[in-house]
Structure 1
Amino acid sequence: MKNTYIVFSTILLLVTFMAPANAQRAWVKSKVKQDMKEKYAEPEKEKGREAIRGVSYENDSRYPVPENPVQATIAMELMSFKKNGKVKDNTTTKWVFGKTGECMIVNEGTKDENRMLFDYKGAAMYMINQQEKIATKMPIINFQKMAEKLVAEHIDFEDENGVWQQTNQTQTIHGFKCQKYIYTNSKEKTTMHVWVTKDINIDLSGNHVFGGQIKNFTNSAWRTKSSKIDNNYPQGMMVRSVFFENNKETPNTQMDIVLFEKKSNPAYFNLENYMVNDILDKL
């Protein structure tokens, strides 16, 4: 990621400083660009449009229906900290897992509220403006690459460079009885204090995107495949995690599960009172 940013910045600087020197050739370049666009770009774009039109929501099988359509509601609070340890940002996120999909609500009930609705059976994703009651619809496959990137950027708790340590510390957090574990990765210079509970018994591993973000160590591939169980490895659902970067004593972020229910409100999946704009209609 860092190398990509450096390359992008270098190209941007080159384009910026080369512009004056090439000003006298602007008309020629513009003419060539227009000719190339008419000859190659537009036909290719039209092929792409036709390909997209050929895949309707009804026959789009590229994104499978979740294998585990459980119903649950989980609310999380994420805090980021300044260098002096004071809270910088505070965000609440609610995940609603229904019969037909998943809904993520950020900062519910505030002017900054945002919603994303995934209708897996309908192969559609909706970006929802709650205040204006507008839902922008698009094929769910459009989010797949972004989701894969999201998962790839998460901390790999099963990294061979990481070490788990079980502590004797216990604490009741938001009504859940938890035990503390410490994860250390010397290569990445990161540490995470994790509080895990066995009070939450639910398997979200079959749910796409949002379900995959809820860390349940009980269903860890490492734990289920390893012939030797390490007692230092957490067992249960992660209720609190405090992340430290670059071997600092001040945390970067803290995540808490503040609500857990084995049910979901179908109202989150009802778009009857919304104006739906389908991006496919704009092609």
Structure 2
Amino acid sequence: MMAGPGGVSPAGGGPARHIPVLLDEVLAALGAVEGKTVIDGTFGAGGYTAALLERGASVIAIDRDPEAVAAGRSLEARWAGKLRLVHGQFSELDIVAGEPVDAVVLDIGVSSMQLDEAERGFSFRQEGPLDMRMAKEGMSAADVVNRFQAGDLARIFGILGEEKHAGRIARMIEKRRKEKPFETTLDLANAIERLVGRNPRDKIHPATRVFQGLRIFVNDELGELARALFAAERVLKPGGRLAVVTFHSLEDRIVKRFLSARSGLSGGS
């Protein structure tokens, strides 16, 4: 098994528009894949999948984002018989596979495709609806911001976003939304910046951690990751390999604890 801090997944479909994070390291961790079956649980732009196919693997690729799956159909057609692309959650990768596989790769977090599309509401780099739903269904970030009590918002921002001003920001949101609900990414980001200020030396925008917390909560990302690790354990053949690329400390901690707990098992990954 392999885990390492990285960045967001590539995005798009068909030929990858972005090079996947830690691609060489992931391929090295998986070893020779020719003739083997590999699950790519976070398809994104298909960067990992394409590299695996080019090395002779058969790939079962999964993504919860319907747009990523639709964009990847051309890659599936080009590799007919070698690639099966499924719209679903990687927490159910063992069910999707239906039989034991040789390796599993997961690149955790939001994809650059999702960040680049303003209408998905993941980023405040440009105006967009406050959405953040990877699967494009269920509760949106706007629903959370405009309906949850300040105490619950503070816990989301503080625990999932690791935001030190979580309480202040939550109380500001609760007060402001009485006058006007938060509907766009820039509306929320600007309100946070006005409240806490911005030091020119800061490397990140003051709203970054709040957006992280909201995105993780809306998509149940940590729960999905934990369930995916157990699913990978169930589906991997003896001697199979698991490679996980994490983006932030919360994900990294879950993966490392899982690997540490399993490191003493014989005949495992």
TM-score bracket for this pair, using the shorter chain length:
under 0.3
- Larger Rg belongs to: 1
Greater strand content? 1
Question: What is the TM-score of this pair, normalised by structure 1?
Answer: 0.22
Greater helix content? 2
Name which structure has the greater RCO, CA cutoff 8 Å, separation 6+.
2
